[in-house]
Amino acid sequence: MGKPWEKDVFVSPVINEASLKKFQKATEIAKKDGKIVCGGSVLSDSHFKDGNFVEPTIVVGLPKDHELVKEELFVPFLCIEEFDNFDDAISEANKSNYGLTAGIFSQDKNEIESFFNKIEAGVTYANRAASATTGAMVGAQPFVGWKYSGISGKGAGGAYYLLQFMREQTQTRCE
């Protein structure tokens, strides 16, 4: 954790004061309605005094319909839920109004294939350890969200992204 321009930094500060306040509100709610098992604090000691640094946070014990489970917070905040089986997990994930990123860790090739066929998200991963579900790989993948996470169905950085801003015209000339 550190400054975003430092080469070996994996987690940098949240983007602005509003995001910091969003993180603080989410952690207050999580302490009341669930259990924070990791993180949950704003960091402000000497190394972190210049920036909006927060601890990546993991929460358990929230109901599946809880606001923290259902919203896109854009802060390092993860709610973990338990499911009886794979299909229930996919079904619950797809109930979300959002579909930016989704990832799976599995050694079962059929389960991975089923995940890719069923999950409703624009950027998907299997067994990606670094930045598992944090977004597209810059310069290698388009960044596209489904449902409320996107507006055009075209991903920034993708081959078809600019076409949505152009006016097409077909011309036929017969002499």
Q: What is the DSSP string of 69-86?
A: HHS---SSEEE----SSH
SS3 of 116-137: HHHCCCCEEEECCCCCCCCCCC
- Domains of the chain by residue range: 1-82, 89-175
CA distance 120 to 146: 7
Higher pLDDT among residues 30 and 1, named by residue: 30
Higher pLDDT among residues 58 and 99, named by residue: 58
Confidence at 9, pLDDT banded by 50, 70, 90: confident
Higher pLDDT among residues 64 and 4, named by residue: 64
Rounded mean pLDDT, 139-147: 76
Mean pLDDT is lowest, of 47-51, 79-83, 164-168, for 164-168
- Options 3.20.20.70, 3.90.550.10, 3.30.2000.10, 3.40.309.10; CATH of 1-82: 3.40.309.10
Using the 8-state DSSP alphabet, how is residue 60 labeled? E
Distances (CA, A) of 75 to 19, 20, 25, 39, 142: 7, 8, 11, 12, 21
